[in-house]
C-alpha cells in the first residue's frame, strides 16, 4: 500500500516539474533595447559633379577603407553608421581608357565622430585633380592615315599630311585646341601632298622639312608656318644629302636636322643647324658613332637626347646619344634599358624626357613607354600606350603634356589621338 502511494507521489512531482519547465520555456528572455544607428547626409561643395560617376569610400579613423560604393551618381539621402570616427572620400570614376572629356576629381571630408541615434550633415569639398598618364581625344575629324606631320605652338596642336594604305597622299591641315578640346580645319598646305615630313616648332612658328612627295620621291624642301596669320612660306632647302628616317630637335631658337638613310643601304651622320633669327642653315659636327637612321630625339636644357635607331642597314639598337649645343659635342652614354627599336616617339615634359613605342621588329610595334630623369640619369617605365599598337604615327609636346596618334599596323590605319600627362613622382 505504501509503495503505491509513494509511486503516485513521484509521478505527481514529475508532471509538476515538466509543466514548470514548459512554462519557463514560454517566457521570453528580456533583451537590452536596440540603439538606432547614426545617420549622415553628405553635401558636395566646390566642383560641380552632377551626372558624373564616382566612388564613395567610408574611411575609419586610421584612414583604412571600411566600405566602398562604386559607380554612384548621387549620394543616398542618409548613410547609416555605427558609433565611431570616420571620414568620407570621393573619387571620380577613372575608366581604364580615359578621354579628355572625362572629369577627374576627388574630395575628402573632415574627420567626424557620430554617436548612436545622431543625425549629422557632412560636407565634402570636390576639387579637380591633375590628369596623369594617357588620355584619348575623341572624335578626331581627320581621315585615317600614317606618317602625318605635326607640331605644337602654345596650346594648339597642328597636324596634317600623311598617306593612306591605298597610297593616297594628303595635304590637309588642322588645328586642335588642347585647352578647348576643339578642332578646326585650315587651308590646305600650298606645297602639295606629302608624307613622312619632319616637323618642329620654334616660338610661334612651325616648320616641316624633308619627307616624300606624292610620287614617293624625296623632298629637301623647308617650309615655315606662321600661326598668327595661318599661312605658309617656303624657305631655303635643307642642305646636305637627300635622306629618309632622319631626326630633328630644337634647342632654344635653333633647330637641328640630321642622320637618316641615304639610299636604302647607307646612312649618314651629318647634322645641320637652322638659326631662326638669321634664317640660315650651317653644319655642326657630325655624330661620331655608327651612321644611323630612325633615331628618336628630345631636348632638355641645352642638350638633345637621341635614342635607339638602326645601324648596319637593319641592326636595331638601344643607344642613348647626347648632343651638347654649347660646345657642339656628341657623347654616347648608358643604353636605354628597354628593347631595341627604331622610330619611336619622344618628347619632353617638365624637364624630363619620354620615349617608347616604335618598331621592335618589322611586324611588331612597341607599346611600352619610359621616362628619363637627366639629373640622376635614370630611366623608369611608366604607363604603356593604351591605344592599338602601330607604326608611323606622329608625336610631340607642349612642354606640359605630350601627344601621340595616327599610324598603321598591317592593313589597319588609325586616326586616334592621345594626350600624355606626366605621372607625379
Banded model confidence at residue 201, pLDDT cuts 50, 70, 90: very high
SS3 205: strand
Rounded to a whole number of angstroms, the distance between the first and last alpha carbons of the chain is 102
CB 315 within 8 A of CB 342: no
Residue 423: predicted pLDDT: 78
Q: Considering the domain boundaries, does residue 103 fall inside one? A: yes
Banded model confidence at residue 303, pLDDT cuts 50, 70, 90: very high
Residue 377: predicted pLDDT: 96
Residue 322: predicted pLDDT: 97
Grid coordinates belonging to 26: 514560454
269 pLDDT above the threshold of 50: yes
Length of the chain in residues, anyone? 425
Q: Which residues on neighbouring strands pair with residue 251, listed in sequence order?
A: 254
Side-chain-side CA neighbours of residue 169 (13 Å): 17
* 299/322 Cα distance (integer angstroms): 9
* 169/195 Cα distance (integer angstroms): 7
Boundary residue ending a domain (78, 95, 128): 128
Q: Are residues 100 and 234 both part of a single domain?
A: no
Q: What average pLDDT does this structure show over 316-326?
A: 97
Strands 54-59, 84-92: pairing kind: antiparallel
Q: Considering the domain boundaries, does residue 21 fall inside one? A: no
Q: Are residues 147 and 82 both part of a single domain?
A: no
* 295/310 Cα distance (integer angstroms): 8
Q: Are residues 120 and 165 both part of a single domain?
A: no
Q: Considering the domain boundaries, does residue 67 fall inside one? A: yes
Q: What average pLDDT does this structure show over 271-286?
A: 97
Q: Are residues 137 and 120 both part of a single domain?
A: no
Please state the pTM of the whole predicted model.
0.84
Q: Considering the domain boundaries, does residue 31 fall inside one? A: no
Residue 8: predicted pLDDT: 44
CA distances to 233, 255, 274, 281, 373 from 277, in Å: 16, 11, 9, 11, 31
Grid coordinates belonging to 351: 624637364
Q: What average pLDDT does this structure show over 322-337?
A: 97
Residue 74: predicted pLDDT: 83
Per-residue DSSP letters for 246-283? -EEEEETTEEEEE--BSSSS-B---EEEEETTTTEEEE
Match 598591317 to its residue by C-alpha cell. Answer: 410
Residue 17: predicted pLDDT: 43
* 61/330 Cα distance (integer angstroms): 57
Grid coordinates belonging to 341: 627599336
Q: What average pLDDT does this structure show over 154-178?
A: 97
Q: Are residues 302 and 190 both part of a single domain?
A: yes
115 pLDDT above the threshold of 80: yes
Residue 5: predicted pLDDT: 38
Residue 9: predicted pLDDT: 42
CATH assignment at residue 49: 2.60.40.10
Boundary residue ending a domain (83, 99, 128): 128
Q: What average pLDDT does this structure show over 311-336?
A: 96
Q: Are residues 294 and 173 both part of a single domain?
A: yes
Q: Are residues 320 and 207 both part of a single domain?
A: yes
Q: Considering the domain boundaries, does residue 350 fall inside one? A: yes
CATH assignment at residue 149: 2.120.10.80
Q: What percent of the chain has pLDDT over 70?
A: 91
Q: Considering the domain boundaries, does residue 20 fall inside one? A: no
* 210/255 Cα distance (integer angstroms): 14
Q: What average pLDDT does this structure show over 208-224?
A: 97
Q: Are residues 123 and 155 both part of a single domain?
A: no
Q: Average pLDDT over the chain, rounded to whole?
A: 91
Side-chain-side CA neighbours of residue 233 (13 Å): 10
Q: What average pLDDT does this structure show over 143-171?
A: 97
Match 602639295 to its residue by C-alpha cell. Answer: 192
Q: Are residues 274 and 303 both part of a single domain?
A: yes
Q: Does 77 or 405 have the greater pLDDT score? A: 405
Q: What average pLDDT does this structure show over 277-289?
A: 95
Least confident of 75-89, 150-164, 167-181: 75-89
Residue range of the domain that includes 75? 38-128
Query: How many domains in the chain?
Result: 2
Q: What average pLDDT does this structure show over 156-165?
A: 98
Residue 16: predicted pLDDT: 43
pLDDT digits (tens, 9 = 90+) for 15-65: 444 444 454 444 555 555 556 899 999 999 999 988 888 999 999 989 999
Q: Considering the domain boundaries, does residue 9 fall inside one? A: no
Q: Alpha helices, DSSP H only, in 111-159?
A: none
Residue 132: predicted pLDDT: 87
84 pLDDT above the threshold of 70: yes
Q: Are residues 216 and 102 both part of a single domain?
A: no
Q: Are residues 118 and 240 both part of a single domain?
A: no
Residue 20: predicted pLDDT: 46
- DSSP conformational letter for 3: H
Q: Considering the domain boundaries, does residue 11 fall inside one? A: no
Residue 73: predicted pLDDT: 85
Q: Are residues 302 and 177 both part of a single domain?
A: yes
pLDDT digits (tens, 9 = 90+) for 357-390: 999 999 999 999 999 999 999 999 999 999 999 9
Boundary residue ending a domain (75, 108, 128): 128
Amino acid at each position: 500500500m505504501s509503495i503505491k502511494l509513494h509511486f503516485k507521489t513521484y509521478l505527481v512531482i514529475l508532471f509538476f516539474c515538466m509543466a514548470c519547465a514548459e512554462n519557463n520555456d514560454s517566457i521570453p528572455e528580456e533583451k537590452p533595447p536596440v540603439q538606432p544607428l547614426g545617420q549622415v547626409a553628405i553635401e558636395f561643395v566646390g566642383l560641380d559633379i552632377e551626372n558624373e560617376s564616382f566612388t564613395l569610400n567610408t574611411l575609419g579613423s586610421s584612414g583604412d577603407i571600411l566600405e566602398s560604393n562604386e559607380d554612384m551618381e548621387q549620394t543616398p539621402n542618409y548613410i547609416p553608421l555605427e558609433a565611431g570616427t570616420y571620414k568620407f572620400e570621393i573619387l571620380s570614376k577613372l575608366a581604364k581608357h580615359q578621354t579628355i572629356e572625362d572629369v577627374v576629381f576627388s574630395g575628402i571630408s573632415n574627420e567626424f565622430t557620430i554617436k548612436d541615434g545622431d543625425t549629422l550633415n557632412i560636407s565634402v569639398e570636390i576639387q579637380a585633380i591633375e590628369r596623369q598618364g594617357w588620355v584619348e581625344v575623341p572624335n578626331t575629324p581627320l581621315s585615317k592615315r600614317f606618317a602625318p606631320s605635326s607640331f605644337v605652338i602654345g596650346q594648339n596642336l597642328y597636324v596634317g599630311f600623311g598617306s593612306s594604305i591605298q597610297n593616297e597622299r594628303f595635304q590637309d591641315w588642322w588645328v586642335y585646341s588642347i585647352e578647348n578640346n576643339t578642332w578646326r580645319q585650315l587651308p590646305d598646305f600650298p606645297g602639295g601632298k606629302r608624307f613622312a615630313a619632319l616637323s618642329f616648332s620654334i616660338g610661334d612658328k612651325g616648320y616641316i622639312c624633308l619627307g616624300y612627295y606624292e610620287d614617293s620621291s624625296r623632298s629637301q624642301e623647308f617650309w615655315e608656318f606662321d600661326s598668327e596669320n595661318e599661312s605658309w612660306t617656303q624657305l631655303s632647302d635643307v642642305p646636305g644629302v637627300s635622306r629618309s628616317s632622319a631626326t630633328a630637335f630644337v634647342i632654344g631658337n635653333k633647330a637641328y636636322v640630321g642622320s637618316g638613310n641615304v639610299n636604302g643601304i647607307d646612312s649618314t651622320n651629318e647634322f645641320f643647324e637652322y638659326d631662326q633669327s638669321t634664317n640660315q642653315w650651317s653644319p655642326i659636327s657630325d655624330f661620331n658613332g655608327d651612321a644611323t637612321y630612325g633615331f628618336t630625339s628630345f631636348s632638355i636644357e641645352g642638350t638633345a637626347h637621341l635614342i635607339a635607331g638602326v645601324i648596319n642597314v637593319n641592326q636595331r639598337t638601344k643607344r642613348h646619344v647626347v648632343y651638347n649645343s654649347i660646345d657642339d659635342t656628341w657623347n654616347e652614354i648608358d643604353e636605354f634599358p628597354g628593347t631595341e627599336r627604331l622610330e619611336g616617339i619622344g618628347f619632353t615634359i617638365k624637364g624630363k624626357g619620354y620615349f617608347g613605342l616604335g618598331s621592335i621588329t618589322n611586324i611588331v610595334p612597341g607599346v611600352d613607354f619610359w621616362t628619363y630623369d637627366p639629373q640622376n640619369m635614370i630611366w623608369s617605365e611608366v604607363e604603356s600606350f593604351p591605344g592599338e599598337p602601330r607604326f608611323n604615327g606622329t608625336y610631340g609636346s607642349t612642354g606640359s603634356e605630350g601627344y601621340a596618334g595616327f599610324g598603321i599596323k598591317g592593313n589597319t590605319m588609325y586616326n586616334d589621338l592621345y594626350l600624355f600627362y606626366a605621372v607625379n613622382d
